[in-house]
Structure 1
Amino acid sequence: MTAISYGDRRLGVLVPSGNSVAETELRAMLPPDVTMLTTRLELRGSSAAELLAMLIQLEHAAALLGHAEPEVIAFHCTAVSTFAPHLAGEIRDRISAATGRRAIATADAILAGLATLGARRVLLVTPYVEAVHQREVAFLGAHGVRVTGGSCLGVDSNTEMAAIRPETIVAQVQAAASGVVADACFISCTAIRSAGLIAALEATLGIPVITSNQVLVWHALQVLGIHRHVNGFGRLLSSTTIANGPSRRT
């Protein structure tokens, strides 16, 4: 008989339909006793109309996840959940109303992770088109986090984002970080291959690095009451207690 770990805890995750990266990264970082269950919502491009249309079937998709009785349901799309300062709260409320279960969004995880790291000044690196990047800058600013530097690649679709080579992301971060004072680096987007870059970039930059997928895992574990070290994916996941150190000029 082959032993299979099914996990005693269940996390439901709603992901964009065109995203081929998030589930792989999330599973790599979640401890084996947490089972991840996913449902997709339509999203492939980055126009404002496409991003907001992802929410049309939100209740239906969340209800399908609810049938599997997850403890928490996460809406996992950075660009949509940071579209406006109030939107993540509305998304949470809609999911909870449809399922009777606790809900979180990527935007919640980002803000909670940065707060835990004591990061008020952030280097923001994204693959997005300019409009999406700037909305994220505005979202962070509305919550007291100042973007002191960064860049975007102008990529529109989830398929193109998944095709970005990890070394391209590293080069983008290093170029954007030159001369910038920041408390943390945020590599945004659930659809890019960034989880494996975190530890090395932290060593190079001298500041904590978070990514959309990594910070969602961290936040979900906190909400689930699972306070456990997960090594290999940066300071946030490797320690539940973060000592606030001085900012670094990267």
Structure 2
Amino acid sequence: MHTVVMLYPGHSAEDEFRALEDRVPGASLPVVHTWEGGTAHDVPALLALGSRQQLASPAARARALAPDAVMWACTSGSFVYGWEGCHEQAGWVREAAGAPASSTSLAFAAAVHHLGLRRASVAATYPGDVAAHFVDLLERDGITVTALSSYDVPSGEDAGALGPDWVRRVAGAADLAGAECLLVPDTALHTIEVLPELEAAAGVPVLTANQVTAWHGLALAGHPARAPGLGALFA
């Protein structure tokens, strides 16, 4: 069994990690909550959410679970720190947890490169000024963002209340001209159940936040990260 602890802010779609455990043989994905308040999609709030002060204690609690890897399971609370800051943040978590560590933002970039792709369309829950930080991080990592759709969802709690029909509509409306894949960030979104149909409709790999977080954490832990029904990334 490979254990990847998910450091998760608030309460929105953490149940997806249990669903992923059920689908991926040999994977244990326990959740440690980092924050019990709201998770507003604005830059100052997100910087606080992903700060060293905020993550140190939960990461230390994760150490008690003897993890093979630890993931900061938050896209916006990592990409707001920028490419260099995102790597520093992963270092804070690694130091406190005593295990290899990364974040959802870095997982998105790793997943695109793993699939041998370079051009991505992004469909983001966040307001445009927040989503722009994600674009900057991807482009700093050598990934060209061909299009960005922003949906002004005000918080993680609001994102968590959106159903699969919303995810289908957003993915279906994405501008895929020139794109090799579609990225749907926000670990507050429920996407795992609809991944196969999203990919079938898009005709390109679809990468979603909890999917890439689990995949990257498992890869760091030495797990093969293969399972049916979880898209091209787990194939």
With structure 1 as the length reference, what TM-score do the two structures score? 0.86
Instruction: Choose from 27, 30, 39 the match for 2:32.
Output: 39
Kindly state the Cα deviation for residue 159 of structure 1 after the two structures are TM-superposed: 1.3
Q: Kindly indicate whether structure 1 or structure 2 has the higher relative contact order, using CA contacts under 8 Å at least 6 residues apart.
A: 2
Distance in 1 (alpha carbons) for counterparts of 2:199 and 2:79:
24
Instruction: Choose from 85, 96, 99 the match for 1:98.
Output: 96
Kindly state the Cα deviation for residue 164 of structure 1 after the two structures are TM-superposed: 1.4
Contact 2:120 2:147 in 1 (8 A): yes
- Report what 1:12 is aligned to: 5
1:193 aligns with 2:190: yes
Kindly state the Cα deviation for residue 197 of structure 1 after the two structures are TM-superposed: 2.1
> Could you give the per-residue CA deviations for residues 145-195 of structure 1, whole angstroms, max 9, x where no partner exists?
1111131110111111011122122112222236x1201011111001112
Instruction: Choose from 40, 54, 59 the match for 1:57.
Output: 54
- Report what 1:113 is aligned to: 111
SS of equivalent residue, structure 2 residue 174: helix
- Give the 4+ runs in structure 1 shifted more than 6 A: none
Structure 2 letter corresponding to 1:101: A
Contact 2:105 2:134 in 1 (8 A): no
SS of equivalent residue, structure 1 residue 207: coil
Kindly state the Cα deviation for residue 113 of structure 1 after the two structures are TM-superposed: 0.5
**Largest Rg, 1 or 2:** 1
> Could you give the per-residue CA deviations for residues 84-131 of structure 1, whole angstroms, max 9, x where no partner exists?
111221112112222322211112211110001122111100111111
Kindly state the Cα deviation for residue 228 of structure 1 after the two structures are TM-superposed: 4.7
Distance in 2 (alpha carbons) for counterparts of 1:36 and 1:205:
28
SS of equivalent residue, structure 2 residue 30: strand
Distance in 2 (alpha carbons) for counterparts of 1:228 and 1:219:
8
> Could you say what the CA RMSD is over the residues aligned between the two structures, in angstroms?
1.6
Q: How does 1:1-250 map to 2 (within 5 A)?
A: 8-17=1-10, 19-21=11-13, 23-30=14-21, 31-42=24-35, 44-54=39-49, 55=51, 56-83=53-80, 84-177=82-175, 180-238=177-235
Distance in 2 (alpha carbons) for counterparts of 1:46 and 1:100:
30
Using the TM superposition, name which of 32-41 and 83-92 deviates more.
32-41
Change (3 A) 1:229 1:32: closer
Change (3 A) 1:34 1:175: closer
Structure with the largest fraction of helix: 2
Distance in 2 (alpha carbons) for counterparts of 1:67 and 1:190:
24
Using the TM superposition, name which of 166-175 and 34-43 deviates more.
34-43
> Could you give the per-residue CA deviations for residues 63-90 of structure 1, whole angstroms, max 9, x where no partner exists?
1111221121111100121111112211
Report how many residues are paired: 228
Contact 1:122 1:182 in 2 (8 A): yes
Kindly state the Cα deviation for residue 32 of structure 1 after the two structures are TM-superposed: 4.7
SS of equivalent residue, structure 2 residue 190: coil
Distance in 2 (alpha carbons) for counterparts of 1:226 and 1:35:
11
